[in-house]
């Protein structure tokens, strides 16, 4: 799992996947909590800047949707289960405000970028907006998931948070 070991913002917990489970390990006491909710291998994880949320994405089988789970860090509970990507989730990132989660699907999903409004359970798909994403990132040539490394997802989300008309963008 790329970026599969995260130090929580409280600097006391490590977060990492193990198969279909997310492990939250307290560094000092060496205690662990197991977050179970995925039915297949976890492929990516992210932690919000405030530390309030953890997100995890999985892979699944051909023709099935892959789940993203948003966890409440405080009580280690499953907050939301999101399903729109096909087969695999390649990357996840929270906005600096913790209001949005960005997810990028795999090859079967044509590397679709989806922005999820966590509070209002809405999503925006940027599958057909490759030109605007290239303009934002200055990318030439083919469009693929490599452009969406954690820092660049944060840059995109920061850009979207500054747009007052976000609610008017391609809702699904």
- Quick one: pLDDT at residue 155? 61
Share of the chain above pLDDT 70, in %: 70
CA-wise closest residue to 122 among 77, 70, 82: 82
State the pTM of this model: 0.77
Q: Check whether 35 has a pLDDT greater than 90.
A: yes
pLDDT in tens, 149-159: 445 555 665 55
Look at residue 152 in the predicted model and tell me its pLDDT.
58
Cβ-count burial of 68 within 10 angstroms (0-12 exposed, 13-18 middle, 19+ buried)? buried
Tens-place pLDDT, residues 81-94: 998 888 999 888 88
């Amino acid at each position: 799992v790329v970026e599969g070991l995260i130090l929580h913002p409280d600097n006391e917990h490590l977060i990492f996947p193990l198969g279909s489970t997310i492990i939250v390990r307290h560094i000092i006491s060496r205690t662990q909590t197991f977050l179970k909710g995925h039915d297949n291998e976890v492929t990516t994880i992210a932690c919000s800047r405030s530390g309030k949320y953890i997100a995890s994405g999985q892979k699944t089988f051909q023709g099935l949707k892959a789940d993203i789970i948003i966890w409440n860090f405080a009580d280690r509970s499953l907050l939301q289960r999101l399903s729109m990507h096909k087969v695999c989730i390649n990357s996840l990132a929270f906005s600096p405000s913790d209001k949005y989660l960005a997810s990028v699907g795999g090859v079967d999903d044509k590397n679709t970028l989806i922005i999820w409004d966590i509070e209002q359970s809405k999503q925006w798909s940027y599958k057909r907006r490759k030109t605007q994403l290239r303009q934002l990132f200055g990318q030439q040539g083919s469009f693929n998931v490599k452009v969406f490394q954690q820092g660049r997802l944060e840059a995109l989300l920061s850009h979207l948070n500054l747009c007052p008309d976000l609610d008017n963008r391609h809702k699904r």
